[in-house]
């Protein structure tokens, strides 16, 4: 488990999949994700099986928040496409439970992934891609320490229009760990 102040990240279980199917078919959640087709339980199971075959460092992680005496799943995240020579990797997340948006969880997830990536995996560069229309996401990533590094003009097509895709990153040398 990776523990933050209010969240923890844990390995995905097969039992998480129905929630992912529900969330990833929600138009509000999908709007800023590069997804084109509806997600079925079968497709999600296939994704899960393939994910288990990936290296342990690239296994995706469930995002949980405290709920009474236990923990409740609200989304998913992970570090992937690690280039061990350049020590560079990409991160991604979604919070599927919309009642949890704009409460600082996305920022906290990113801070936790940065700490894990730099202090445990010994990465040097962690980057992400974000739809330029995803203002809440961009704000969360800026708060976590990501800096803007590039714009792929009309890099994605979503909701009937071309949209710019932004690249943001944090280098190990500029990362300021949270106390
Ligand atoms: C993007 C996402 C991860 C952000 O998570 P979150 O927990 O809502 O983010 P946070 O609460 O940490 O930060 C959001 C910030 O953006 C701000 N914000 C939200 N909507 C905004 C808007 N339209 N314009 C400007 N700022 C906005 C919030 O006020 C908050 O800033 P503040 O703390 O300074 O007030 C989450 O909304 C999500 O999963 N969305 C659906 C899937 C997705 O887009 N995934 C990311 C793909 S890159």
Q: Where are the domains of the chain?
A: 2-124
Contact 73, 95 (CB under 8 A): no
Ligand 1 close to Cβ of residue 169 (< 6 A) = no
Cα dihedral: 41, 46, 48, 50 (round 10): -170
Residue whose CA is at the smallest distance from ligand 1 atom 44: 32
Band (pLDDT 50/70/90 cuts) for residue 166 is: very high
Band (pLDDT 50/70/90 cuts) for residue 159 is: confident
Domain topology for 2-124: Aminopeptidase (3.40.630)
Contact 155, 164 (CB under 8 A): yes
Ligand 1 close to Cβ of residue 107 (< 6 A) = yes
pLDDT digits (tens, 9 = 90+) for 132-142: 999 999 999 99
pLDDT digits (tens, 9 = 90+) for 36-85: 899 999 999 999 999 999 999 999 999 999 999 999 999 999 999 999 99
Q: Where are the alpha helices (DSSP H) in the chain?
A: 17-24, 27-30, 41-52, 105-115, 135-144
What is the Cα–Cα distance from 173 to 179, expressed in whole angstroms? 17
Residue-averaged pLDDT of the chain: 96
Ligand 1 close to Cβ of residue 7 (< 6 A) = no
What is the number of the ligand 1 atom nearest to the C-alpha of 96? 39
């Amino acid at each position: 488990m990776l523990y933050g102040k209010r969240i923890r990240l844990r390995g995905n279980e097969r039992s998480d999949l129905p929630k992912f199917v529900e969330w990833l078919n929600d138009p509000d959640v999908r709007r800023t994700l590069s997804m084109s087709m509806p997600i079925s339980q079968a497709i999600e199971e296939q994704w899960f099986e393939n994910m288990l075959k990936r290296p342990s460092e690239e296994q995706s992680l469930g995002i949980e928040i405290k709920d009474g005496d236990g923990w409740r799943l609200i989304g998913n995240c992970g570090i992937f496409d690690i280039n061990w020579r350049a020590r560079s990797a990409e991160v991604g997340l979604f919070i599927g439970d919309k009642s949890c948006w704009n409460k600082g969880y996305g920022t906290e997830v990113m801070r936790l992934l940065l700490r894990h990536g730099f202090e445990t995996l010994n990465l040097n560069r962690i980057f992400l891609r974000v739809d330029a229309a995803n203002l809440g996401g961009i704000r969360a990533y800026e708060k976590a320490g990501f800096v803007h590094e590039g714009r792929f003009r009309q890099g994605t097509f979503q909701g009937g229009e071309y949209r710019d895709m932004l690249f943001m990153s944090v280098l190990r040398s500029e990362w300021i760990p949270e106390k």
